[in-house]
Structure 1
Amino acid sequence: MPYSLVINFVPRSPLLKTHLNGRNFHALFLDLVSSVDKDLGTQLHQQQSEKAFTLSPVQIRLNRKLMQWSYHRAIAPGTPCWWRITLLDDSLFGKLAHLWLNINRTEPWQLGSAELDIISILSNPQSQQPWANFISYTRLYEQALDGTDSQTSQQARKINFRFCTPTTFRKTQYDVSLPDRDLIFRSLLKRWNQYSEIPLEFTETIFEPIYPSFFDIRTEMVSDKRSKFIGCVGEMSFSILGDVNAQIIKQINTLADFSFYAGIGRKTPMGMGQVSRY
């Protein structure tokens, strides 16, 4: 069952620009995991392959179109902040259930060298916090549109993505910041088949009916002391064209809906590839 959790916190000391990068987000997540399961924290730290979670950058306000991924100044102590974690593996959520229910709110947590107090963890959708949610893989598949309903047939053939943090892809030996149909949907298919109990059959023709119909994207850079990545942010739409089997339409929509939890592309455990479907 994919989960999207929103952690609300308040820093005790200034969150410097140097604290607000993917490596520190990743380290804080591992600290949270290790607080309830040290072996699991070590296992996730050593994991080199596809990871069963994504992390957003720290946010100080809600922007429904884009997240903030770079900061020009420190975040002052006492500023309400939020941070998003998605979990793709049922067993991972189960192992961490104790953390969500019994989070230590008396001792500070560390983000870089800064201390912070965790106020709450949201898992249910909120009117003022649309990034929190959860759904089973079965339900995600069942509710995906297949184009057979006349009232939603056009909607079923339109896939609108919003790249809310810089999104990049690995192609051969290099990173590519220009998304295309295959890069996006292959990324989603790989994660879906790895974590869901409803594997989708892959064929070379499954994505052929998908064509770009609109894009308003630009490149942005994500950097820390060790590395720099160029990714795209903005909006991109695809249309499903031609005489397409309802099952194929359903599978494509399943993957598009799944993007909210799985993210798209590389470095999703470091704050990149946060995506919404609109």
Structure 2
Amino acid sequence: MAPSSPSPRKRKQQFSSSSAWAAETELVGITLDLEPLQTCSLYAQYTIGLHAWLLDQVRQSDPDLSTQLHDEQTEKAFTISGLEGALETNGRMFQLKAGQTYQWTITALSNPIAQWLAKWIQQPPQVVALRNAPLQVRHIKITHLPMTYEQLWETDYPDRFRVALSFTSPTSFRRRGLHLPLPMPFNVFHSYLRRWNTFSGIEFEPDEFLEWVDESIVIVRHRLESTRVLAGKKGTVTAFTGAIELELSVKAPRDDEYEQLLFALVQLAPYCGTGHKTTFGLGQTRLGWAVPELQSPPALQTILLDRIAELTELFIAQRHRTGGDRASQIAETLATIQARRELGESLKTIAEDLQMPYETVKAYAKRAKRGMIQE
């Protein structure tokens, strides 16, 4: 059951249905058609701005829900895409052209977020205010059908499981504190099961199911391309885009409940995305085989990625205790701030993009500078 789009009514800056969706809805996705007010440049890490703008919209209208979202330490109950459309580069940044339409998708993974979206789209803001790139909201439409987890669970599944998944934005997994840029079935379904267990109320013991997946699901076709991106509040991500086709091995032990769960998780994929940093545009997923054309990053972003990687190695090597995820995170944050300072960005801009207090960024910048002098 792939998400689909109904025929929207032509109504400027309005949602295409007055009834939105049922009160029990837990899963839904909407896409905003956005148009720049003028030709403008967009910084490479703009999905941070989209993420922050959406959370601010929640804060303004529902402070309690906003607090809940900020307090969630693991799985977030929403995803966002990057901008889809003719994004060009001018060497330093992406360029948005006046008169062009760009699409931005938001999905909800829980009833509170779905109901917040239902109210929000009745009186949506006129402009998505990104730094130096205000985007006018022209139209909003449903692109992922309103569903409940119970409906996904009760969907009839085929006698023999075979499915294609397309990863339309850079996608990656975290494994033992490192990035894993490969869609191994174990990691793919672990990603979906985490969201399912967090939000569905129909919980499954993960170890046994994932062991069955590891033994039973095989990749029968793939077309993948690796990439590196800046994503989230700091650091770089080694990722992939492309498509895979999976099937249940003929040698796999049949298990009706696991096969039902497997199919439900596949239907969940377009809503929840795949892998990590899905609230910053990574891991956008569609059902079916559709190999995307990867947007070329601005040349400056490639330079920045290389410099961050170089500095991260330097700062990790300088630490007396090099092990542990926290040590790597600190080194990557230092590297990100130092690399962006070398390109002439102000501490104020870096603090805003990374959503860190200015004084903290200032202290990190001094620490990074001392590390450079040491070297």
Number of residue pairs aligned between Structure 1 and Structure 2? 254
Alignment pair present for 1:269 and 2:288:
no
Alignment pair present for 1:90 and 2:100:
no
Pair member with larger Rg: 2
- Counterparts of 1:76-87 in structure 2, within 5 Å, are 76-87=97-108
Q: Tell me the SS of whatever aligns to 1:34.
A: helix
Matched letter for residue 133 of structure 1: L
Separation in 2 of the partners of 1:19 and 1:103?
26
TM-score, normalised via structure 2 length: 0.63
Separation in 2 of the partners of 1:60 and 1:7?
12
Equivalent of 1:206, from 184, 197, 212? Answer: 212
Post-superposition offset of 1:109: 3.2
| Preserved CA contact (<8 Å) 1:21 1:223 | no
| Preserved CA contact (<8 Å) 2:69 2:77 | no
- Counterparts of 1:32-47 in structure 2, within 5 Å, are 32-45=57-70, 47=72
- Hey, what does 1:128 align to over in structure 2? none
Post-superposition offset of 1:252: 0.8
- Counterparts of 1:27-66 in structure 2, within 5 Å, are 27-45=52-70, 47-60=72-85
Post-superposition offset of 1:47: 4.0
Separation in 2 of the partners of 1:19 and 1:12?
19
Post-superposition offset of 1:71: 4.7
| Preserved CA contact (<8 Å) 1:221 1:231 | yes
Q: Tell me the SS of whatever aligns to 1:16.
A: strand
| Preserved CA contact (<8 Å) 1:36 1:98 | no
Alignment pair present for 1:115 and 2:140:
no
- Hey, what does 2:181 align to over in structure 1? 177
Equivalent of 2:263, from 241, 253, 276? Answer: 253
Alignment pair present for 1:222 and 2:229:
yes
| Preserved CA contact (<8 Å) 2:42 2:133 | no
Choose 34-43 or 78-87, whichever is displaced more. Answer: 34-43
| Preserved CA contact (<8 Å) 1:12 1:115 | yes
- Counterparts of 1:184-195 in structure 2, within 5 Å, are 184-195=188-199
Separation in 2 of the partners of 1:144 and 1:112?
46
Separation in 1 of the partners of 2:255 and 2:59?
46
* Residues 1:234 and 1:109: Cα distance change in structure 2 (over 3 Å): closer
- Hey, what does 1:141 align to over in structure 2? 153
Query: 1:239-259 CA deviation, whole Å, 9 max, x = no partner?
Result: 101241232222111111110
* Residues 1:78 and 1:89: Cα distance change in structure 2 (over 3 Å): same
Post-superposition offset of 1:46: 5.4
Query: 1:71-115 CA deviation, whole Å, 9 max, x = no partner?
Result: 55411123212100011011122234321111133xx33112322
Q: Tell me the SS of whatever aligns to 1:258.
A: helix
Separation in 2 of the partners of 1:114 and 1:46?
29
* Residues 1:18 and 1:45: Cα distance change in structure 2 (over 3 Å): farther
Post-superposition offset of 1:38: 3.6
Separation in 1 of the partners of 2:132 and 2:52?
11
- Hey, what does 2:244 align to over in structure 1? 236
Post-superposition offset of 1:179: 1.8
- Hey, what does 2:305 align to over in structure 1? none
Separation in 2 of the partners of 1:19 and 1:11?
17
Structure 2, unaligned stretches of length 5 or more?
A: 1-25, 289-375
Q: Tell me the SS of whatever aligns to 2:212.
A: coil
* Residues 1:58 and 1:20: Cα distance change in structure 2 (over 3 Å): farther
Structure 1, unaligned stretches of length 5 or more?
A: 62-67, 124-130, 148-152
Q: Tell me the SS of whatever aligns to 1:78.
A: coil
TM-score, normalised via structure 1 length: 0.83
